[in-house]
């Protein structure tokens, strides 16, 4: 990816609008809609009422929901349309539009200004402005219909990160783009599983945890996921289906390079493939009885994000869990104590401390001794204030407006995260370029004196904010 292509991703998405949207009343007939699409030579119509967007219908909808189903052409177009569709504000970036389309598996995205539609952007219209990009990769993933094709399509994710690093993309942007590719891969595997197994017998939500849940994936990552099943689920009747579905998706992700979670925190594990009520019981027990194992699990499962299936199941879990955690001061104190177990790489004298292992001599683990301590701090801030964001940077941005941390400290921590995240991405990109397997171990002798000073300052910032949080929650008496 060139710098010009990266700049394109940061421009307002409204700049790509070339014509006004073609609109139609929701009560107009299917025949009238088809004639209007033909007359205007468009692949979609926006359903509007008093200028407000209420739905969208595409040429695919006409083919799959009307013609193929033998629907009467006199029926209202709203009967085959997607109502309350995904949309985006005109001030959003092309990148945000790309992520929205990739994550929601859609090809047409209405653009709104002050709530009114001004146009429609398609994946094709974005790709026409770029030669190689995440858009092309996401589009290729969506076109695959078997695992072999999906493995081939996702083979270049490490190269994509290298291109983004060469273009000096921020860690925030790289994390969102790389995670959007993982989301697209997961959704495509779910679609393949549905074709193989048939429609799900009860509603479910496929949910990502860990770095995918936080939108912070890099080229070196494993998979963390789970299933929330509707309370109508019965193991004897439905268990085999969801075991097969989770096995297919987890095996497929592994084949695509998202290796199995070492701790088996995946939907293929029956412990993490349970009903909404059971998930609610899990969280209630973890929050009210925060033993070491519970704290470890909450660090994974408080970073959840919906990927596919029925979103309301995930939303119901969030609405139950966040208020429960926010109100429990003892639980938050234990979370702080647990967060303090992940320390920046500093020794007793305040100097940089490096790995002593023979495999990675005189190196710093940029994940566990740099990024994870910030992730832990941001998670506590989010839980203390009921912030629903899963992304670490977004949690720190929201922390500007609450009492968990000062505005200046939140700003310092965001800058520290941005610096360390970019350092990690460039380190992995350099390894990929040399034909090596990407990892998180940065050798200190690879840094200039200035970089050594800066990373030392970053670690001191983390340590200071850990101490401030410990004092606030009196975590020392719990350790």
Question: What would the pLDDT profile of 121-131 be if each residue is shown by its tens digit?
Answer: 987 776 655 54
Half-sphere exposure of 72 (CA within 13 A, CB side): 5
Q: Can you read off the two tokens belonging to residue 140?
A: 């290729």
- Closest to 226 (Cα-Cα) out of 305, 285, 335, 116: 305
Longest dimension (CA), the chain: 79
Residue 271: predicted pLDDT: 96
- State pLDDT tens for residues 279-303: 999 999 999 998 888 888 988 888 9
Reduced to 3 states, what is the DSSP secondary structure of residue 49?
A: strand
Integer angstrom CA distances of residue 194 from 65, 199, 227, 465: 18, 5, 15, 47
C-alpha span between 232 and 238 (Å, rounded): 10
Q: Which residues pair with 108 in a beta bridge?
A: 122
The residues spanned by each domain of the chain are 3-127, 170-322, 328-478
- Closest to 228 (Cα-Cα) out of 210, 251, 246, 253: 246
- State pLDDT tens for residues 175-228: 988 898 899 899 999 999 999 999 999 999 999 999 999 999 987 789 999 999
Cβ contacts of 415 within 8 Å, gap of 6 or more: none
Residue 356: predicted pLDDT: 61
Reduced to 3 states, what is the DSSP secondary structure of residue 81?
A: coil
Instruction: Tell whether the model's pLDDT for residue 27 goes beyond 50.
Output: yes
- By the 8 A CB rule, do 209 and 224 touch? yes
For the chain, what percent of residues have pLDDT higher than 90? 52
- By the 8 A CB rule, do 192 and 252 touch? yes
For 89, the enclosing helix (H) or strand (E) is strand 88-89
C-alpha span between 293 and 169 (Å, rounded): 37
Q: Mean of the pLDDT values across residues 50-63?
A: 94
Reduced to 3 states, what is the DSSP secondary structure of residue 8?
A: helix
The per-residue DSSP string of 208-242 comes to E-HHHHTT---SS-B--EEEEE-TT--HHHHHHHH
For 309, the enclosing helix (H) or strand (E) is strand 305-309
Reduced to 3 states, what is the DSSP secondary structure of residue 109?
A: strand
Q: Can you read off the two tokens belonging to residue 109?
A: 């995205």
Burial (CB count <10 Å: 0-12, 13-18, 19+), residue 59? middle
Which phi and psi angles does 365 have, rounded to 5°? -80, 105
Lowest mean pLDDT across 9-18, 185-194, 231-240, 421-430: 9-18
- State pLDDT tens for residues 253-274: 999 999 999 999 999 999 999 9
- pLDDT band, residue 388 (cuts 50/70/90): confident
Residue 349: predicted pLDDT: 79
Q: Which residue has the tokens 């468009």?
A: 42
- By the 8 A CB rule, do 133 and 1 touch? yes
Integer angstrom CA distances of residue 459 from 374, 399, 448: 10, 20, 17
- Closest to 46 (Cα-Cα) out of 70, 77, 24: 24
Q: Which residue has the tokens 């690093």?
A: 165
> Right CATH number for 3-127 from 3.40.50.280, 1.10.3470.10, 3.40.366.10, 3.10.580.10?
3.10.580.10
- pLDDT band, residue 476 (cuts 50/70/90): very low
**CATH class of the region 170-322:** alpha beta
Instruction: Tell whether the model's pLDDT for residue 479 goes beyond 50.
Output: no
- By the 8 A CB rule, do 60 and 82 touch? no
Q: Can you read off the two tokens belonging to residue 244?
A: 């097969």
Q: Which residue has the tokens 């299917």?
A: 30
- Closest to 28 (Cα-Cα) out of 81, 69, 64: 81
List for the chain the helix, strand, coil content (%; round to 5).
Answer: 55, 15, 30
- By the 8 A CB rule, do 391 and 174 touch? no
Find the angle CA(353)-CA(459)-CA(435) to the nearest 5 degrees. Answer: 70
- Closest to 31 (Cα-Cα) out of 87, 90, 71, 91: 71
Which phi and psi angles does 109 have, rounded to 5°? -130, 110
Task: Select, from the ranges 43-57, 93-107, 318-332, the one with the highest average predicted confidence (pLDDT).
Answer: 43-57
Q: Can you read off the two tokens belonging to residue 97?
A: 């539009």
Q: Mean of the pLDDT values across residues 423-429?
A: 90
C-alpha span between 400 and 321 (Å, rounded): 23
């Amino acid at each position: 990816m060139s710098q010009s292509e990266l700049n394109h991703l940061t421009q307002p998405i409204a700049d790509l609008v070339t014509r006004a949207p073609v609109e139609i009343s929701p009560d107009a007939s299917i025949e009238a809609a088809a004639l209007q699409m033909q007359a205007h030579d468009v692949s979609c119509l926006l359903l509007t009422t008093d200028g407000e967007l209420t739905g969208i219908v595409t040429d695919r909808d006409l083919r799959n929901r009307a013609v193929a189903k033998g629907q009467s052409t006199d029926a209202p177009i709203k009967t085959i349309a997607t109502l309350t569709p995904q949309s985006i504000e005109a001030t959003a970036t092309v990148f945000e539009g790309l992520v929205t389309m990739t994550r929601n598996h859609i090809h047409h995205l209405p653009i709104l200004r002050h709530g009114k539609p001004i146009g429609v952007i398609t994946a094709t219209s974005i790709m026409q402005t770029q030669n190689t990009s995440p858009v092309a990769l996401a589009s290729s993933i969506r076109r695959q219909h078997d695992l072999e094709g999906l493995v081939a399509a996702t083979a270049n994710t490490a190269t994509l990160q290298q291109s983004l690093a060469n273009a000096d993309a921020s860690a925030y942007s790289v994390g969102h783009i790389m995670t959007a590719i993982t989301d697209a891969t997961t959704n495509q595997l779910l679609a393949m599983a549905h074709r193989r197994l048939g429609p799900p017998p009860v509603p479910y939500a496929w949910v990502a945890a860990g770095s995918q849940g936080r939108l912070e994936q890099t080229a070196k990552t494993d998979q963390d996921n789970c299933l929330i099943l509707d309370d109508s689920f019965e193991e004897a009747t439905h268990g085999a289906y969801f075991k097969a579905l989770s096995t297919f998706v987890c095996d497929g992700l592994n084949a695509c390079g998202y290796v199995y979670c070492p701790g088996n925190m995946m939907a293929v594990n029956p412990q993490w493939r349970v009903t909404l009520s059971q998930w609610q019981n899990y969280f209630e027990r973890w929050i009210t009885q925060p033993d070491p194992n519970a704290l470890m699990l909450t660090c994974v499962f408080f970073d959840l994000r919906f990927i596919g299936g029925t979103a309301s199941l995930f939303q119901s879990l969030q609405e139950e869990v966040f208020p429960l955690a926010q109100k429990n001061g003892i639980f938050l104190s234990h979370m702080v104590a647990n967060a303090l177990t992940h320390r920046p790489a500093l020794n007793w004298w305040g100097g940089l401390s490096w790995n002593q292992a023979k495999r990675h001599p005189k190196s710093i683990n940029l994940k566990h001794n740099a990024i994870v301590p910030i992730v832990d701090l941001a998670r506590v801030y989010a839980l203390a204030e009921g912030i629903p964001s899963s992304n670490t940077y977004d949690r720190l941005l929201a922390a500007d407006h609450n009492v968990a941390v000062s505005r200046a400290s939140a700003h310092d921590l965001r800058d520290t995260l941005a610096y360390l995240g970019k350092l990690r991405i460039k380190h992995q990109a350099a390894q990929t370029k040399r034909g090596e397997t990407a990892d998180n171990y940065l050798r200190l002798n690879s840094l200039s004196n200035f970089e050594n000073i800066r990373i030392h300052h970053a670690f001191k910032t983390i340590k200071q904010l850990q101490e401030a949080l410990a004092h606030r929650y009196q975590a020392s008496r719990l350790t």
